[in-house]
Amino acid sequence: MVIRLIGYMVMGVVFLSVVALSVEQLMRWKLKNDFFGDVQKLACLINAMADQDVNSRYDLSIRVPPGGIVSADNRRLSACCQQENLSFELRCPVSSFVIREGEYLVSLRRREEGVDVHASRK
């Protein structure tokens, strides 16, 4: 009887450990996918700004998870998170920037020769 009880307790601990690890992996996956979705939205907005009037503005909130980075240079927007990369070709030149881990308010402003991007921490 005691051996069964100990066996059930061990199985319960193993089960809870597996569940905890699965939930942690699921949360990392969700953070990464939310981040890549935000980067894709940023790329779409920059491309949409190419058709806007000069001095048009748009603000976007973006959260970069631990270990993540967003960078842009000329006509390319790149993101990296958890050893996965995502890159977008942009229709117009953008100012160079690098955004590291944290929450940011990204401001886009259409200028004569492209889009000016400014990121500030929230």
Residues facing 86 on adjacent strands: 79
- pLDDT tens for 71-103 read 998 899 999 998 889 999 999 999 999 999 999
Question: Could you tell me if residue 110 is inside a domain?
Answer: yes
- Exposure on the CB side of residue 50, measured as CA atoms within 13 A: 13
In a domain? residue 16: no
Instruction: Give tens-digit pLDDT for 22-50.
Output: 878 888 888 889 999 999 999 999 999 98
Report the predicted TM-score, pTM, of the whole model to 2 decimal places: 0.80
- Average per-residue pLDDT in the chain? 89
Q: How confident is the model at residue 4 (pLDDT cuts 50, 70, 90)?
A: confident
What CA–CA distance (Å, rounded) separates 80 from 87? 9
Domain extent, residue 111, equals 35-121
The bridge status of strand 114-121 relative to strand 57-64 is: unpaired
Strand order in 57-64's β-sheet? 57-64, 102-111, 114-121, 84-99, 69-81
Residue 6 lies in a domain: no
Q: How confident is the model at residue 57 (pLDDT cuts 50, 70, 90)?
A: very high
pLDDT at residue 21 greater than cutoff 80: no
C-alpha gyration radius of the chain: 21
Neighbours of 108 (CB within 10 A): 20
Paired residues of 120 in beta bridges: 105
Q: Is residue 22 part of a domain?
A: no
Note the pLDDT of residue 19: 74
Q: What's the structural domain count of the chain?
A: 1
**10 or 71, greater pLDDT:** 71
For 2, the token pair is 């005691």
